[in-house]
A and B are shown apart, each in its own frame.
Chain A
Amino acid sequence: AQTVTQSQPEMSVQEAETVTLSCTYDTSESDYYLFWYKQPPSRQMILVIRQEAYKQQNATENRFSVNFQKAAKSFSLKISDSQLGDAAMYFCYIGSSNTGKLIFGQGTTLQVKP
């Protein structure tokens, strides 16, 4: 079984500052991958960043980076130089490379203050 926990229902950050959203998971799968998706208010879900579990190097996409700690089963998202457009609900999810089974976390709503 797979579980994903986002323990912060809401977070806020001042514009231009850095914020970290947490995600922990549990899985019995040996081969899996993790994604962070962003869902702005009334807009569609888009991919922020992805990480394959077998890769030790943390993924980075511009201002977005992850801190992937496989042994601790932690996959946090760091947003640097926060912008007003980063305000959204962020979902972490884990998928199995073997079965395709996927599980979303509960989401974290990020508010960016000007």
Chain B
Amino acid sequence: DAMVIQNPRYQVTQFGKPVTLSCSQTLNHNVMYWYQQKSSQAPKLLFHYYDKDFNNEADTPDNFQSRRPNTSFCFLDIRSPGLGDAAMYLCATSRGFGGPIKYNEQFFGPGTRLTVL
């Protein structure tokens, strides 16, 4: 089945220690998104890639970076995690960004729960 996979499902890191979360997709979608979701809150979009074009949200801290080496994979790098970065991180994909609605349906992965000690 086509899907969005996130690894690991749970990640524990130490304050200030860099951490990388990964996302892969078998849907061959053009767009990949990273969201941060804190408990009982809406997902907050951090950035997205349309193919190789990186699009950062204006309020995303510099501490968060992303890489997309190919269509299938996208990584979220947190350079110096703080206690406030503990959250669920969601990866999602879509065929397009804008345009007809059918291109904008997002498919979500199960998320990676990040704990910062």
Residues in A with CB closer than 8 Å to B100 are 97
Closest residue of chain A to B97 (Cβ to Cβ) is A100
Is A96 an interface residue when CB atoms closer than 8 A count as contact? yes
| B window 62-108: CB within 8 A of A | 90, 92, 96-101, 104-106, 108
Query: Which residues from A are CB-within-8-Å of B104?
Result: 33, 95, 97, 100, 102
A49 to chain B minimum Cβ distance, whole angstroms, is 11
- Closest beta carbon of chain A to B2's beta carbon, Å: 14
Query: Which of A13-21, A40-48, A70-78, A79-87 lies at the interface?
Result: A40-48
The residue on A at minimum CB distance from B105 is A47
Residues of B within 8 A of A56 (CB): none
A99 in contact with B42 (CB, 8 Å): no
Whether A44 lies near B98 (C-beta < 8 A) is no
Chain B residues with CB under 8 A of A50: 101, 105
Count of residues in B whose CB is under 8 Å from the partner chain: 20
Q: How far is the CA of A104 from the CA of B38 in the complex (A)?
A: 14
Bound complex: CA A7 to CA B42 (Å): 13
A63–B9 alpha-carbon span in the complex (Å): 32
Q: Residues of B at under 8 Å CB distance from A?
A: 40-43, 45, 90, 92, 96-101, 104-106, 108-111
Interface residues of chain A, those whose CB is within 8 Å of chain B, are: 33, 35, 37, 43-47, 50, 52, 89, 91, 95-100, 102, 104-107, 109
* Given A37-B108, A47-B106, A98-B98, 20 other A-B residues pairs in contact with their CB atoms under 8 A: A33-B104, A35-B105, A35-B106, A45-B43, A45-B90, A45-B106, A47-B105, A50-B101, A89-B40, A91-B42, A91-B43, A97-B99, A97-B100, A97-B101, A97-B104, A100-B97, A104-B43, A105-B42, A106-B41, A109-B40
